[in-house]
């Protein structure tokens, strides 16, 4: 009997692992399409089997934006998990270069909330008015993680949010959330270090909203999208952070 239970448990784990491989893709060709809406480029991936017809995921990228293959592949993975997924070009055609010596301060001065918020507002309008989907789940990475929080504030249009290694997140933006928020944090991250993580947790605790903060060992800033998937620990972190978001959206 013990062997039978163990065998069933093993089969269940193998089934889950196989399903995960079918949903999460780290390489290959993107399956979505790009459209223009109100001056904004949107990358849209539709699910074959929607898990919830009344929910759309808005994917808010890191500073490498739509040109980064991993961003489109991750958006496609959310669609395979059952969510119609819309990824706006929140960088308005100005992604950061893959050059470690580029001037980050000068770049970010061109990508302030005043420049970025209107793009996300138009994307939410598209989901509500063109797709006729009422509920918005926000998933943000690095640069985009801050905006997952910003648009969880009252009247901003987000209903539930997830952020992986969010950068430059302000205290006021955390305290303003009016929906459940989940965070995936890297072990090594100078933009969300141990001290700032503790502050983030305390601030989330000061809100009445459900929240979750998971820390992934062996990872560094950017792992949610750009992990080295040939490293088992980094691959695990990236995939578990993805499922963290999916489970959060399915439950809230």
Judge whether residue 50 has pLDDT over 90.
no
pLDDT, average across residues 198-205: 98
pLDDT score recorded for residue 52 = 78
Q: Is 142 a catalytic residue?
A: yes
Pairing of strands 135-141, 55-60: parallel
Phi-psi region of 192 (alpha: psi -120 to 50; beta: other; left: phi over 0): beta
Examine residue 239 and state whether it is found in any structural domain, yes or no. Answer: yes
What's residue 7's pLDDT? 37
d(CA 252, CA 194): 27
pLDDT tens-place string over residues 119-129: 999 999 999 99
Measured distance CA(137)–CA(157) in Å, rounded: 9
Residue 72 lies in a domain: yes
- pLDDT exceeds 50 at position 14: no
Q: Residue 98: what pLDDT?
A: 84
Distance of CA 2 to the CA centre of its chain: 40
Of 187, 100, 96, nearest to 143 by C-alpha is: 96
Of 62, 76, 142, 165, the active-site residue reads 142
Domain presence at residue 15: no
* pLDDT for res 23: 96
Mean pLDDT estimate for the chain: 92
Instruction: Report if residue 184 sits inside a domain.
Output: yes
Q: Work out the average pLDDT over 1-24.
A: 49
Range of lowest pLDDT (18-32, 167-181, 234-248): 18-32
pLDDT tier for residue 19 given thresholds of 50, 70 and 90: low
Q: How confident is the model at residue 11 (pLDDT cuts 50, 70, 90)?
A: very low
Q: Known catalytic residue: 117?
A: no
Q: Which of 76, 89, 165, 221 is catalytic?
A: 221
**Residue 16 scores a pLDDT above 80:** no
Please check the confidence at residue 20 and state whether its pLDDT lies above 80: no
List 38, 189, 206, 231, catalytic entry: 189
Residue 19 lies in a domain: no
Q: What is the mean pLDDT of residues 172-196?
A: 98
Secondary structure (DSSP) of 202-223: HHHHTSSS-EEEEEEEEEETTH
Do the Cβ atoms of 58 and 86 come closer than 8 Å?
A: yes
The whole-model pTM stands at 0.92
Q: What is the largest CA-CA distance in the chain?
A: 65
In tens, the pLDDT along 62-80 reads 999 999 999 999 999 999 9
The total of structural domains in the chain comes to 1
Supply the CATH number for residue 212's domain. Answer: 3.40.50.1820
Residue 87: domain span: 27-251
**Statement: residue 143 has pLDDT above 90:** yes
d(CA 119, CA 39): 9
Task: Kindly list the distances between the CA atom of residue 14 and the CA atoms of 6, 11, 234, 239, in Å, as whole numbers in the listed order.
Answer: 12, 5, 20, 16
Evaluate whether residue 21 is within a structural domain: no
CA-based angle 223:158:167, to the nearest 5?
35
pLDDT surpassing 60 at residue 4:
no
Q: 218, 187 in Cβ contact below 8 A?
A: yes
* Joined tokens for residue 38: 């109100």
Residue 202 lies inside a defined structural domain of this protein: yes
Report how far apart, in Å, the C-alpha atoms of 194 and of each of 144, 149, 198, 199 are.
Answer: 20, 19, 6, 9
**Residue 219 in 3-state DSSP?**
strand
pLDDT for 175 beyond 80: yes
């Amino acid at each position: 009997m013990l062997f039978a239970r163990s065998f069933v448990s093993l089969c269940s784990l193998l089934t889950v692992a196989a399903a995960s491989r079918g949903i999460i893709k780290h390489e290959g060709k993107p399956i979505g399409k790009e459209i223009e809406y109100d001056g904004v480029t949107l990358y849209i991936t539709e699910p074959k089997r929607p898990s919830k017809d009344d929910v759309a995921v808005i994917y808010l990228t890191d500073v490498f934006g739509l040109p980064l293959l991993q961003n489109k592949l991750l958006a496609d993975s959310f669609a395979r998990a059952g969510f119609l997924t819309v990824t706006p070009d929140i960088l308005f055609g100005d992604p950061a270069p893959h050059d470690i010596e580029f001037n980050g301060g000068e770049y970010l001065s061109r990508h302030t909330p005043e420049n970025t918020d209107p793009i996300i507002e138009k994307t939410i309008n598209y989901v509500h008015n063109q797709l006729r989907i009422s509920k918005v789940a926000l998933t943000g990475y690095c640069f985009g993680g801050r905006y997952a929080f910003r648009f969880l504030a009252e009247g901003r249009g987000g209903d539930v949010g997830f952020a992986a290694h969010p950068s430059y997140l302000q205290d006021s933006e955390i305290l303003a959330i009016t929906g459940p928020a989940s965070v995936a944090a890297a072990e090594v991250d100078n933009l969300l270090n141990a001290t700032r993580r503790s502050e983030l947790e305390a601030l989330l605790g000061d809100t009445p909203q459900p929240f979750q903060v998971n820390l992934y060992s062996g990872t560094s800033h950017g792992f949610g999208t750009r992990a080295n998937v040939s490293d088992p620990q980094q691959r695990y972190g990236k995939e578990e952070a993805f499922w963290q978001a999916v489970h959060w959206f399915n439950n809230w």
